[in-house]
Structure 1
Amino acid sequence: IYYLPKKTRLKSSVGPTADTIAKYKYISKNGKTDGYYSGNTFANQIGISTQVPHVIEIVSNNTNSAPRDVKIGNRRFNIRKPLISITNENVYILQMLDLLSNLDTYSDYDYEDARKCFLRYIEAHKITRDDVDQYIRCFPLTAFRFYYELRLDNVLL
């Protein structure tokens, strides 16, 4: 990746961070979405986990089928292939269903607190029941279980 270094106050140049490079390479580039943050990374972002992961988990179209660890600078990223091809239209739905598939693994709180976090996420991204119905069958049964256990089907339009 080529970049124009930025000058700091100390007259030295600074390149892009490892997170910026990973986001550009695996998540979104030029307005096209190819991936999303997953696992503890995403659980922390929406507030159902207080854990800040050392290894950032990313699901991306821009990788082969085998999950693999990639090191960029001093940061490690675990990159894996999605169950369904990721687009700008389905990224938030797939990200939510992916987390629901392994909710017990990542949630630090009870189901009611997790439900509130998911409700905020659903409202922020305007996810509807039809959107979820279109993709949920491609995910493990645990996604179904938590989807209904958290009563998310009652809040979707």
Structure 2
Amino acid sequence: MSSLLINKLDMTTDLRYTCEMTSVSDKVTQQIQGLPEDISFGYGQLALAKQDYQTAAKALERLQKKGVIKKLSKGIFYKPKKTVFGEKKPDEQQLLKPYLYQNGQRTAYITGDYLYNQLGLTTQVPAVIKIASRNRRIFINTGSLKATAVKSYVDVTDNNYQMLGFLDAIKDFKQIPDVDVVNALAVFKSRIRPLNEAQRQMMIDYALAYPPRVRALLGVVLTDLNLTKGIRKLRDSLNPLTTFDLGIDDSLLPNVSDWNIQ
């Protein structure tokens, strides 16, 4: 092979590589331009192939130098929001968001007392946030942001993570700090009542993967709301000899004894 032909091949390869780099860089820039201010993001939210991460890193570095984005931690960035008081960082939920996705798909969600505080079940805010995922173990220790991993009962998606968080609250009902039973039951009802029939059936199906106390408490709340379609699945899944000490009697929820709750 002649040296001239080799040089042409090298030039073609270099040109193709340069075009690929430019394409990835443009894709990164366009996606970031489309993101709102005051949110954080990671590589997993940029819809990039793993082989493009190195090129994307250079593009992100250039955007940092221009002040378009800022770095929060390794692989996590945000678009600063400018206010009259200066630049504003994202809040905790936004800081956590990139950790909840993998390859552009949600695989985890915030749970535990941080979530239960948002649901109005407790006034306490934990120092360490819990992140639930089926197949990932997510631990964070960045500045004031700390999180530990728990295992979800089913695979997590954008369509079900809120429902799973709600079922977690039912599961942890007795362990929620300073929980008020009357208020908690009102919160549970207020969350279930607006669901359509398909959503309620989905919740029942997910509950079957949870511990028996979840199925029992969900069953009695659905019964109290007169939303009984499909709850036979919950009842049939329970051992009739098992009782659940949840501190709830008939004065708070009629029919609790039918679900072996006391």
TM-score (norm. length: structure 1): 0.74
Give the number of equivalent residue pairs.
152
Quote the residue 1:26 is aligned against. 100
Partner residue of 2:120 out of 47, 53, 67:
47
Bigger Cα Rg: 2
Quote the residue 2:165 is aligned against. 95
Quote the residue 1:146 is aligned against. 217
Matches within 5 A, 1:45-124: 45-61=118-134, 63-64=136-137, 69-106=139-176, 108-123=178-193
Gaps of 5+ in 1: none
Amino acid at match of 1:55: V
Spell out, residue by residue over 1:13-63, the C-alpha distance to the aligned partner (whole angstroms, 9 max, x if none): 776566423212216986x43322211011101101111111111113562
With CA pairs under 8 Å and 6+ residues apart, which has the higher RCO, 1 or 2? 1
Spell out, residue by residue over 1:50-109, the C-alpha distance to the aligned partner (whole angstroms, 9 max, x if none): 111111111135624xxx642123211012231100112222221111221111001533
Give the whole-Å Cα distance in 2 for the aligned partners of 1:153 and 1:7.
47
Amino acid at match of 1:46: L
TM-score (norm. length: structure 2): 0.48
**Kindly, what percent of the aligned residue pairs are identical?**
22
User: Residues 107 and 114 of structure 1 are in contact (CA less than 8 Å); yes or no, is this contact kept in structure 2?
Assistant: no
Give the whole-Å Cα distance in 2 for the aligned partners of 1:121 and 1:83.
20
Q: CA 1:108 to 1:58, structure 2 compared with 1: closer, same or farther past 3 Å?
A: same
Quote the residue 2:235 is aligned against. none
Q: CA 1:15 to 1:139, structure 2 compared with 1: closer, same or farther past 3 Å?
A: same
User: Residues 192 and 200 of structure 2 are in contact (CA less than 8 Å); yes or no, is this contact kept in structure 1?
Assistant: no
SS of the aligned residue for 1:138 comes to coil
Quote the residue 1:137 is aligned against. 208
Amino acid at match of 1:129: R
The more displaced of 43-52 and 1-10 is 1-10
User: Residues 124 and 177 of structure 2 are in contact (CA less than 8 Å); yes or no, is this contact kept in structure 1?
Assistant: no
User: Residues 136 and 143 of structure 1 are in contact (CA less than 8 Å); yes or no, is this contact kept in structure 2?
Assistant: yes
